[in-house]
Structure 1
């Protein structure tokens, strides 16, 4: 049977119509898919509430502790990625056995030498005793205005010969605030005993509390057997003590001015003396002699026993930038020589770091919205989980880049790292702030997952680059 020309024309029109309908249908579906994709890419969800954000950051920090805190037992310290021609003085020019230099704002370690060697802290122990007492004050257990009873064991005449003393004695009237001052300024071993007995009832009970506090702060190698630092059985490392000191000045910054920056002490004053006792006040200069010679120095604590050598936990601030140095095991054939070498080490390290390093806030690390495919929620925010400061070489050319995918697939857990804000000095990354998910997002039901899969493939075609880099 032959098909007429008119039938052929009819069938051709019908086929063309089917093709046109199919093209229109595909076009409509493609248009709808593009529209849905564009809508999904442009939609911004509300940020998680602050409590959820804090939890997400906490999850990241716990699960990435080796990355954030790579030094065993030093949870306040992080590594510094940059190294270059502006190097530290050669280690043999820093004569102390063990040294660590860190930025107080970021916790980045900028220089170290034998920082994990166990050394008796000597009178730096008193910093931990002060911290423990100040925690008791903050908890309402004791007050700085308390009148501190002076047990016989705390009287200056009963302290081993050659000890640093505040010159406490029977019948004196002294407050807890004055006891803390005596420990910080003149390193009074008598004051340390009085403090321990007042806060915890006995020296052993107080020492147990000191050890509890440092364990709470994450220190693993440090241990104390008494609160004054006289015993060589007190042990710490420069790294761990630096970590503690950063916690101390962050939690109690007022102590720098109130106690640690004082350059002298006279005691007992008339109000301290026992009734009928007219003994003159003993005037003493601060054991930290760098308070008078190093610009910006306002703490923290010196220490010396023969088993430790000459130690100092040193901090200074200039123009809003603070650094912290631990110098331990310094040499010296005499007290005078040991103090001179210790001061020279401290001055050399601090002058170098203030001249060669700059600290800036990481203001570019801000929350960024992100599309989520195949989830029960359509998006989340990538929030910064790192420090708010960074250190860079003085004079370096700085730049910032945000490394973050434009979208991610569900499921995703709060605290998952999904990108970073990288800070570069002369083209080299010197600091990186992690960006983490601010919430949990579960996987959506199957049909929506399929739709989002198609939309994500469409997004790849629409977007020339699947990553943000600014």
Structure 2
């Protein structure tokens, strides 16, 4: 029958289409860059699409980038009303002792002092103050051990399974003395991959973007107006006016981390021309002296911002040029339009070249039988760019697009079916 011939033609034509829509045909391989670090990653903050990755799944020490996890939990407690910004905390003997260690990042605390949650939060982010972060963990969960457990649970909820968290600060346990969490090794450190660190940063920025109001502060006085006041200079030297600032990169976060084992780490973020990028550099090497982590981060940021452009590959509810419809047996309409159930926008290299976008269609239903409801799944389309599937922090984003019917198709009435059958009978005679 003509309907079967038509269906076979459609299916064969969309099994593997190598021609792309006009907007996509300019896709090409982006210039490569060399990032001198043990691991590096650059992603689009909104979609989580990975634009650059080198050893991104290698588990390494994360140092004070750990504090992003704790800060997320603090903001979550604020948001839920379990914690108040003006709530005051008096240091316990353990946190007080840690705060007096001048070899660690700290703001000095008095054993009989009172400090607000907001003060400790700012000190943890701007100055990476370890005792301040410990106090925040205690007030959220009641103890360091319980807060570490809460951090681990949050990571699991985000699908992060490569992390080892032994303390709230990111320090090597050896620096905590008797303050280490029971059951953890005296020389252990927090460990994660660059990919997992980026997932933490993405959740922090997505759920609590107000964190940037603090991370962009270049200098602030802790406990101002008291004898304990101390000026906190932000360790993120890429902020405007600081030593590693780049006028073309309006960096406003996020968190540094340094230990002997971890080396120089930095999770950075920059927003420009409507886009936000997250970068992760772990154990930076190369030039730049004390700013080498920022030198490598700048390479990543420029690469992500300058070499890619957004292209809409699919729009929810709008048929693809390569898979538009399927036939409907006994339907009032003999075919129904099919379309992706979600939109897909991806960043592709700006430079023109021979590479293309490929849509690969897989049918799960070759023909429908009326009546059929809107939203019936008929197949899926996998999309590749430059011969590779798109990569995301959440790989469910890279899953094939589900194609569904765009409207309900009623069964044709008796007379329509009779006349349609007669037409098909005579057409098959010739």
Asked whether the two chains share a fold, i.e. TM above 0.5, the reply is yes
The answer as to whether partners of 2:61 and 2:192 remain within 8 angstroms in 1 is yes
Cα distance in 2 between the residues matched to 1:283 and 1:415: 62
From 283, 286, 310, the counterpart of 1:329: 283
Aligned-partner SS, 2:281: strand
Higher relative contact order (CA 8 A, sep 6+): 2
Residue 195 of structure 2 corresponds to residue 239 of structure 1: yes
2:341 to 354, 364, 384: 384
Distance in 1 (alpha carbons) for counterparts of 2:343 and 2:113: 49
Find the counterpart in structure 2 of residue 252 from structure 1: 208
How far the C-alpha of 1:348 sits from its partner, in A, is 1.7
Query: Residues 160-199 of structure 1: matches in 2 within 5 Å?
Result: 160-199=101-140
Q: 1:245 Cα deviation (Å)? A: 1.4
What's 1:262 paired with?
217
Aligned-residue offset at 1:357: 1.6
How far did 1:137 drift?
2.3
1:435, CA displacement in angstroms?
3.9
Contact 2:317–2:406 (CA under 8 A) maintained in structure 1: no
Number of the residue aligned with 2:11: none
Contact 1:99 1:114 in 2 (8 A): yes
Question: Counterparts in 2 of 1:260-339, with a 5 A limit?
Answer: 260-270=215-225, 278-279=226-227, 281-292=229-240, 293-294=245-246, 295-331=249-285, 337=289, 339=290
Which of residues 356, 366, 379 in structure 1 aligns to 2:316?
366
CA distance in structure 1 between the aligned counterparts of 2:130 and 2:145, rounded to whole angstroms: 15
Cα offset for 1:145?
Answer: 3.1
- For residues 306 and 417 of structure 1, the distance between their equivalents in structure 2, rounded to whole angstroms, comes to 55
| CA radius of gyration, larger in | 1
- Residue aligned with 2:167, SS: coil
Q: 2:63 aligns with which of 122, 125, 143?
A: 122
Checking the alignment, whether the CA contact within 8 Å between 1:115 and 1:237 is kept in structure 2 is yes
Q: Equivalent of 2:368, from 404, 409, 422? A: 409
Normalized per residue, the structure richer in helix is 1
1:87 and 2:48 aligned: no
Structure 1 range deviating more: 314-323 or 169-178:
169-178
**8 Å Cα contact 2:339/2:405 also seen in 1:** yes
Q: What is the rounded CA distance, in whole Å, between the counterparts of 2:98 and 2:263 in structure 1? A: 25
Select which of 416, 428, 437 maps to 2:404: 437
Cα gap change, 1:157/1:429 in structure 2, threshold over 3 Å: closer, same or farther?
closer
**8 A contact 1:365–1:421 mirrored in 2:** no
Q: 1:430 to 1:154 in 2, by over 3 A?
A: closer
Conserved in 2, the CA contact under 8 Å of 1:156 and 1:167?
no
- Taking the aligned partners of 1:153 and 1:104, their CA distance within structure 2 comes to 37
- Could you tell me whether the CA contact under 8 Å between 1:149 and 1:198 is conserved in 2? no
TM-score of the pair, normalised by structure 1: 0.65
Deviation of 1:126 after TM superposition, in Å, equals 0.3
Q: CA deviation at 1:188?
A: 0.5
Give the aligned partner of residue 293 of structure 2: 342
- Stretches of structure 1 lacking an aligned partner (at least 5 in a row): 1-29, 35-81, 271-277, 462-470
Helix, strand or coil: the match of 1:155? helix
Q: Measured at CA, do residues 413 and 366 of structure 1 come closer, stay the same or move farther in structure 2, by a change above 3 Å?
A: closer
Please state whether the residue corresponding to 2:192 is helix, strand or coil: coil
Correspondence 1:134-145 to 2 at 5 A: 134-145=75-86
In 2, distance between residues paired with 1:341 and 1:377? 68
* Alpha-carbon distance, 1:99 to partner: 0.6
Match of 1:57 in 2: none
SS at match of 1:97: strand
Q: Could you tell me whether the CA contact under 8 Å between 1:153 and 1:159 is conserved in 2?
A: no
Secondary structure of the corresponding residue to residue 341 of structure 1:
helix
For residue 154 of structure 1, report the CA deviation from its aligned partner.
2.0
The answer as to whether partners of 1:359 and 1:391 remain within 8 angstroms in 2 is yes
2:164 touches 2:190 (CA, 8 Å); kept in 1?
A: yes
Q: Determine the C-alpha separation between the residues in 1 that align with 2:136 and 2:329.
A: 61
Q: What are the Cα deviations for residues 175-212 of structure 1, in whole angstroms up to 9, with x where unaligned? A: 22222111111101011111011101111001100000
Q: How many residues are treated as equivalent by the alignment?
A: 361
Q: CA deviation at 1:391?
A: 0.6
Structure 2 length-normalised TM: 0.70
1:128-180 Cα deviation digits (max 9, x unpaired): 01112222222332223322332222226655441101323233332222221
